[in-house]
Structure 1
């Protein structure tokens, strides 16, 4: 099939009638009201309270105040002609201590949000776990404690029973490689644990939990579309030398293959990263039968590419990233390279797994230093980023790769984890002091594309 001309003007029609257009968010990043109406603390509430953990000492306690302003923000989704809205359920809003008695106020809140979305003609796409583990469960070991498979299963069951009559699209977990890698190996995200002794059990318990959760959804939600989302980056070697190629292959196994392959029944990529073989210490008899699931879709989330070189001094993988800022390339505010072909390569890579039925781009977007001038935000760099990435998605689709949706990260500027409120990813500008919303030029551009 002919490839798309990357200079061809984009139109909604080129992607087909069944292509899902959406915007993605996460509870911790937008809701605020961190202790309202019976909500318990999450690991991010406690982590952000520790000195030096979050840029500028920022906290998610208020965020975008979505908890009280959700109707206004869903109205914005509708006004931007976006028909699908992805959001997550805060575990500790439903179960303040992670287990035990259900907080009815939390159930009522998400019921109200779901009902309002449907009333406005916006399809809700629910992520059950987007990194905000109840702090009470972290005190019991969090993802390193095998009992969490049961804790998580109970949470999923409650969500399915309360919301499954209206929610069709479900993602079990968001980016497991990121929240276990940054939170249980590097210690730069909540809960701040470090080392293989935390990372390896967390990996295995997350895999078991994703499958357990997906099976519960399959059993309890009629006609559910069940998926999971995965972070991915196109990996290229620093130079045309065997040691750099091998280093890139190891990095690819850790960044792109660590979770998707066991969940597709292919096992952990221990041949490339031998340090992962320690994970078998946590694998119990019968686990293999509970490590894979037949997903209806896979969500991939791509922002950039990475250049990898051999590094003798990097433990476990012998590879290191060559910083984009040292390569003289165009950067976002996250210091990530702007490299649109990355998303094409990742669609192609995931299409190579025959077990995957369809792909949805569940996150893609960019942070730039937005400025309000005369009541407007003219974010041309973001428009260019979205346009060039969508052209690559269209190219992949026209080349015969199975990609059936695109969700922008994100609706409003928000709390961006360890980076606090500094990076602005939104289609809508938020003044965090007044909570005023201003639709950016990129929001208007997308609304015109989707009109």
Structure 2
């Protein structure tokens, strides 16, 4: 049964209150090696993800220009505790230590983002060689340790100079981004073979341009529509340009979308329309143009004034893989004050939550993966972000025993394995995040890392989850013991 049909039936019968109603677990019927509950293919990719503004720091080093997040975080009241990314994890200077920690865990891939203002301080024009030098050093350090670099070209830190020209609300940005993408690929594309264009364009549009809680702090449905369409267009143009340039280089090209199943609160008919609307806003506004060449029906009137002849063809580019980020389902109900007339409600009773207040529903990731198989042609998929923040305390011996995070990751990776058994073309898993970092408007109070970063000394201390994940990688699957 397709998810939308299932949701409609579930809303009528009350089954939506049970997160497990959508899928059944077949793990017990599958023979596994004695030490492993769920074994993954030998070529499965295991890694971690980060983003430039959240970890690099060194915001004026090497000719880097200011980004929208520099401006936003330095604006009073925008970020918890007045935190900024000025220092972050100082990855710019400590990258070799971080690469070594990845290697010791056995990771074979690292998804990092490139800071556009480091490469083009004003957003356009020739490349800043010193900025690209950093990504040269990082790429070489990764390869020396047997870790494949997976650069992401944009993870929300737009050069402030481009924001001053309208940023993602200016259609010209599609060309600016394509030029930037080509500069980066020309520099490290002889060694980096896996490229992602954007990270979570819908989230960037919703929170940065519709609701104002993220940089650049814009609000309104009109800005949301512009930011979505121009990101989609920029993504398509960059994919086409890199495809033309990278044919002989063996590049694998894709992008990263946040895909979170949306359910009606309480499984009620009254909440069903709200769940479909938010599903269109969050998921389909980027997924459907890329893979189907069309915007979701519920939003077409909003996009119509922006779509010019040839746009949808330019957006619908072939991809070698799709990266998805998953954290939880979203439970929606009508809310007249919401950006699109919807709002968040409570998950089914008894559902645990993370330190962010997000429901822990591991089968949601299997749900979205199976839907990609059934309704979108089963593209090769990598889970590019999956992880959780929980309240933590460093123990007397300087060690964080983060059992909640281990449980979260374990259950989600098992759900991913279930989808793999269902025929989903799942090829890799990247934990969010390698390091405790600058968590956007939450500052440093929310910790997602496998590795603790001391805020005073910046010392790296692997947590229990780091060692657990290393065991998963070593055994090529989820260990039988919890």
Written as runs of structure 1 = structure 2, the 5 A alignment for 1:2-81 is 3-5=26-28, 11=36, 14-81=39-106
The more displaced of 341-350 and 187-196 is 341-350
Give the deviation of 1:317 after TM superposition.
3.5
Alpha-carbon distance change, 433 to 6 in structure 1, aligned in 2, over 3 angstroms: farther
Give the deviation of 1:233 after TM superposition.
1.4
CA deviations on 1:323-342 (whole Å, 9 max, x unpaired) are 45x95531111111111111
The count of corresponding residues between Structure 1 and Structure 2 is: 446
Quick one: which of 252, 256, 259 aligns to 1:225?
252
Quick one: which of 432, 435, 441 aligns to 1:409?
432
Give the deviation of 1:315 after TM superposition.
5.3
CA deviations on 1:302-330 (whole Å, 9 max, x unpaired) are 0011222233x245633221045x95531
CA distance in 2, matches of 1:296, 1:241: 39
For 1:184, the equivalent position in structure 2 comes to 209
CA distance in 2, matches of 1:288, 1:446: 40
SS in 1 for 2:387: coil
Quick one: which of 339, 346, 353 aligns to 2:361?
339
CA distance in 2, matches of 1:6, 1:430: 41
Check conservation: 1:128, 1:171, Cα contact below 8 A.
Answer: yes
SS in 2 for 1:191: coil
Alpha-carbon distance change, 268 to 358 in structure 1, aligned in 2, over 3 angstroms: same
For 1:258, the equivalent position in structure 2 comes to 285
For 2:3, the equivalent position in structure 1 comes to none
Alpha-carbon distance change, 13 to 237 in structure 1, aligned in 2, over 3 angstroms: closer
For 1:421, the equivalent position in structure 2 comes to 444
CA distance in 1, matches of 2:181, 2:37: 35
TM-score (norm 1): 0.95
The more displaced of 223-232 and 64-73 is 223-232
For 1:430, the equivalent position in structure 2 comes to 453
Give the deviation of 1:401 after TM superposition.
1.7
CA distance in 1, matches of 2:321, 2:213: 30
1:243 aligns with 2:270: yes
Alpha-carbon distance change, 387 to 35 in structure 1, aligned in 2, over 3 angstroms: same
Written as runs of structure 1 = structure 2, the 5 A alignment for 1:245-394 is 245-269=272-296, 271-273=297-299, 276-311=300-335, 313-314=336-337, 317-323=340-346, 329-373=351-395, 374-394=397-417
SS in 1 for 2:208: helix
TM-score (norm 2): 0.89
Check conservation: 2:57, 2:92, Cα contact below 8 A.
Answer: yes
Gaps of 5+ in 2: 1-23, 475-482
The more displaced of 106-115 and 194-203 is 194-203
SS in 2 for 1:303: coil
Give the deviation of 1:189 after TM superposition.
0.4
The more displaced of 119-128 and 11-20 is 11-20
Alpha-carbon distance change, 101 to 380 in structure 1, aligned in 2, over 3 angstroms: same
Check conservation: 2:355, 2:389, Cα contact below 8 A.
Answer: yes
Alpha-carbon distance change, 19 to 98 in structure 1, aligned in 2, over 3 angstroms: same
Give the deviation of 1:86 after TM superposition.
0.7
Alpha-carbon distance change, 145 to 389 in structure 1, aligned in 2, over 3 angstroms: same
Check conservation: 1:12, 1:449, Cα contact below 8 A.
Answer: no
CA distance in 2, matches of 1:404, 1:10: 22
For 2:17, the equivalent position in structure 1 comes to none
For 1:133, the equivalent position in structure 2 comes to 158
Give the deviation of 1:206 after TM superposition.
0.8
Please, what is the CA RMSD of the aligned residues?
Answer: 1.9
Alpha-carbon distance change, 73 to 188 in structure 1, aligned in 2, over 3 angstroms: same
CA distance in 2, matches of 1:366, 1:315: 26
The more displaced of 343-352 and 294-303 is 343-352
CA distance in 1, matches of 2:436, 2:240: 34
CA distance in 1, matches of 2:308, 2:331: 37
For 2:479, the equivalent position in structure 1 comes to none
Alpha-carbon distance change, 449 to 309 in structure 1, aligned in 2, over 3 angstroms: same
SS in 1 for 2:329: strand
For 1:395, the equivalent position in structure 2 comes to 418
SS in 1 for 2:384: strand
Check conservation: 2:362, 2:411, Cα contact below 8 A.
Answer: yes
Gaps of 5+ in 1: none
SS in 2 for 1:309: strand
